[in-house]
Amino acid sequence: MSQTPDSQYTELLSTAIEARQKAYAPYSKFLVGAALLTKNGTVFTGCNVENTSYGLCICAERTAICKAVSEGHQEFEAIAVAAHPLASPCGACRQFIVEFGKKITVISVDAEDTSKSKQWTSEELIPENFKF
């Protein structure tokens, strides 16, 4: 039996919250987790990883996408992002997500109060995205 989108997204949010626990954020203390759902149902997780040279930091969303692409996946259904407080993806992550489709569902949740969440399509987050 296949899951409904709502139950699938609830599970994705839980997975993002779990991924957040693996974040390496000794400087900002801002822990972020992500869970990326591919079109074939595979889920890839990511967390933010900071570096003393801030320009070298990588966000949870980009970590999950890079893991998926490196495993041969390029078609995505949704990505869940968990942080506290509730936060939407940064501009770089928005551009990174929309690279793979304008209709990807993006869901953000407050990892410590899951009643707080927001949902968009990737195109809604970055309507005039860069195109080469």
* CA 13 distance to own-chain centroid: 10
Residue 61 known to be catalytic? yes
- The closest of 95, 47, 40 to 73, measured between CA atoms, is 40
Per the residue annotation, which of 11, 18, 50, 61 is the catalytic one? 61
The CA distance from 58 to 42, in Å, is: 22
Which pair of structure tokens corresponds to residue 12? 């994705």
Cis peptide before 85 (omega within 30 of 0): yes
**What is the set of active-site residues?**
61
